Amino acid sequence: MSKQDEQRLLVKIATLYYSEGMKQAEIATSLHLSQSFVSRAITRCVKERVVKISVIQPPNMFMGLEAAIRARQSAINFMFY
């Protein structure tokens, strides 16, 4: 399989999985592939940045601030033990 064909297959699998909401087994059946191949392809898509996953925080959530507070609290606890 050429590099271009391989890339095309990765994009197709990622589209079916993430955009169309198909299960890995369904993708494997429809493309005549093994489910393990599809699973590895999905992992590879994320690793090679074919797919970008992002988390959208609601305006009232402050995950970065919470992490900073937890880190500071851990440092304070460490100093007293």
53: CATH: 1.10.10.60
**In this predicted structure, what is the pLDDT of residue 76?**
67
Name the token pair of 58.
């609601």
As for how many domains the chain has, the answer is 1
**In this predicted structure, what is the pLDDT of residue 63?**
80
Per-residue pLDDT band at 59 (split at 50, 70, 90): confident
**In this predicted structure, what is the pLDDT of residue 1?**
84
Residue 17 belongs to what domain range? Answer: 3-79
Name the token pair of 9.
């297959």
11-40 pLDDT, tens per residue? 999 999 999 999 999 999 999 999 999 999
Share of the chain above pLDDT 90, in %: 63
DSSP state at residue 58: P
**In this predicted structure, what is the pLDDT of residue 56?**
81
